[in-house]
Amino acid sequence: MVLNRVNSRGNVPGAVVESYVGYTESVSLTGEGSLIMSNFEHEYTTQPEMWRRAAELASTVTLFPPGARVAFIGCGTSLYVAQAAAAYRNEQMIGESDAFPASEVPPGRRYDTVVVISRSGTTTEVLDATAALAPYTRILAITAVDDSPLARLVADRIVLSFADERSIVQTRFATSTLSLLLASCGWDVGASATRAEVFLGEPPEDVEAADHFVFLGRGVGAALANEAALKMREVLSVWTESYPTMEYRHGPISAASERSLVWILDNAEPSIDDEIAVTGARVVRSGSDPLAGLVRVHRAVQQLATRRGIDPDHPRFLVRSIMLDRR
């Protein structure tokens, strides 16, 4: 199927709907158990529902045919979604897949489809890359805003406005986009949503004693380790690192100490746990599902923000979209 536009009149109600559905106004310094949630908390706790809607949408469209050569591009959180989607598609041997920052797409490479991910559809590097690539390849944009510069640049787009966010810091739009892409490659997103709901019903991970956070994983887990580290860094301004699990032995482990928490987003390479424990660092594993496990990280971010008096809705030096003045 050639995808031109997905809208609320299609098979999945709400694929294009008004943004910011279901919000209440928030105030600063709210946390779990507050009468008024921060936007960040509201958004990360509604992820399982959003994932199911994205997976349902994936079942109604063909994003690209099997065997297609695909590049995924984005900036910040969207880049890590791109990395995760490319990793899983390669793992499933569905078709050759690459992921790049929008500002670093190699010139001269040819793809059957380039998937461009941008929540706002206004990020300068994404718009520049799209304009440069559009004459030579099919562009599929995934965004949260239908009436945006990115949406107007392309013929093929999916607008996940039901997953849009008020927060500067992304959670549910990014993971809903990833759910759409993973579901199209055979991932059981419904099972991930159920696991995430279980995690949300459990007490949050106690991470208060750490001031150095390392996130590890393999494949999809490695990409989401990058995203987990970014969330900690964006909201809390703490020292975070992320690596493919097998790379952690190759130097980075030397920085571990009793003040470190090493959070592994999958079950791969269990032999590393004992090696990390020797350093005095605490090891946490989220289980076999890195998508669901990312929700535990989001809860830990909220927990630390609440205890440290940090407003997760107003991170330092950040804005919702990077729009550069090219004059």
Domain edges within the chain = 39-187, 202-307
The pLDDT of residue 327 is: 57
The pLDDT of residue 220 is: 98
Asked if residue 119 has pLDDT above 80, the reply is: yes
The pLDDT of residue 204 is: 85
Q: How far is 94 from 183, CA to CA, in rounded Å?
A: 13
Least confident of 10-19, 34-43, 134-143: 10-19
- Mean confidence (pLDDT) of the chain: 90
Architecture of domain 39-187 in this structure: 3-Layer(aba) Sandwich (3.40)
At a CB cut-off of 8 Å and minimum separation 6, what does 311 contact? 28, 29, 38, 305
The pLDDT of residue 206 is: 87
Least confident of 121-125, 127-131, 200-204, 258-262: 200-204
Q: What would the two tokens of residue 296 be? A: 């535990």
The pLDDT of residue 9 is: 30
Kindly report each contact of residues 60-63 with a partner whose C-beta sits within 8 Å and lies 24 or more positions away, as own/partner: 60/6, 60/10, 60/11, 60/12, 61/1, 61/3, 61/6, 61/158, 61/184, 62/1, 62/3, 62/184, 63/3, 63/113, 63/115, 63/140, 63/180, 63/181, 63/184
E-strand ranges in 56-179 read: 70-74, 97-101, 113-118, 138-143, 156-159
Asked if residue 160 has pLDDT above 60, the reply is: yes
Mean pLDDT of 5-30: 34
Asked if residue 27 has pLDDT above 50, the reply is: no
The pLDDT of residue 319 is: 86
Asked if residue 8 has pLDDT above 50, the reply is: no
E strand or H helix that includes residue 84:
helix 77-91
- Residue with more model confidence, 147 or 13: 147
Mean pLDDT of 255-278: 97
The pLDDT of residue 19 is: 29
Q: Are 157 and 148 in contact (CB under 8 A)?
A: no
Under the banding of pLDDT at 50, 70 and 90, the label for residue 205 is confident
Same topology for domains 39-187 and 202-307, yes or no?
A: yes
| pTM listed for this prediction | 0.89
Under the banding of pLDDT at 50, 70 and 90, the label for residue 322 is confident
Longest Cα–Cα distance of the chain, Å, equals 57
At 171-199, the pLDDT tens digits run: 999 999 999 999 999 999 999 999 999 99
The pLDDT of residue 291 is: 98
Asked if residue 82 has pLDDT above 60, the reply is: yes
Asked if residue 22 has pLDDT above 60, the reply is: no
Q: Per residue in 30-69, is it b (16+ CB within 10 Å) or e — as a string?
A: bbeeeeebbbbbbbbbbbbbbbbbbbbbbeebebbeeebb
Q: Which CATH superfamily is domain 202-307 in?
A: Glucose-6-phosphate isomerase like protein; domain 1 (3.40.50.10490)
